[in-house]
Amino acid sequence: MKIKCLTLFDITKTNVSNRRGDSDRFLSRERQQQSNLETLLQIISLRSQPEDITDPIITVENNPWGKKCWSFTFVVNYGSIFLLNGDDLGSIKADCNGVPMITGLDEEVDLNPVLYSTGLNKNIHFEIE
């Protein structure tokens, strides 16, 4: 099953992973962007092993907010892996709620520094492709 993730948080893939030594590099914008992406991939990996992960792209069209957001897709082998209460993506949505994220990067809107998959503050969206 192929799933698309869209978020208002900056999850630009930078491949900056230095967590030791140079503290300026650890605190850099590129490291923070990469850290946000890694956080999402870790959430997804709680229940599945995502495959064929695409690099995040910035999009303004075809998203729930009509604003700049980042999106990527991934594949999971079992179609019901995220099933919860009749929602095919219910558990991944629940897993995301309240997870801290880094803000103040290249986001277009002011965000609370946590993920919300429902409600007025929704800042992450999942859909089956």
Structure confidence at residue 110 (pLDDT): 94
pLDDT higher than threshold 80 for residue 24: no
Q: Which helix (H) or strand (E) holds 69?
A: strand 69-75
CA distance 124 to 118: 8
Mean pLDDT of the chain: 92
Band (18; pLDDT cuts 50, 70, 90): low
pLDDT higher than threshold 70 for residue 35: yes
Q: What is 8-63 written as a DSSP string?
A: SS----------SS-HHHHTSHHHHHHHHHHHHHHHHHTT---BSPPPPEEESSSS
Structure confidence at residue 16 (pLDDT): 87
pLDDT higher than threshold 80 for residue 14: yes
Cβ contact 56:71 at 8 Å = yes
Percent of the chain with pLDDT over 70: 92
Site of tokens 């859909």: 127
Structure confidence at residue 89 (pLDDT): 97
Based on DSSP, count helices (H) and strands (E) in the chain, helices before strands: 3, 4
Q: Global pTM?
A: 0.91
Structure confidence at residue 22 (pLDDT): 55
Cβ contact 111:100 at 8 Å = no
Read off the pLDDT of residues 53-112 as tens digits, 9 standing for 90 and up.
Answer: 999 999 998 899 999 999 999 999 988 999 999 999 999 999 999 999 999 999 999 999
State the average pLDDT over residues 10-37. Answer: 80
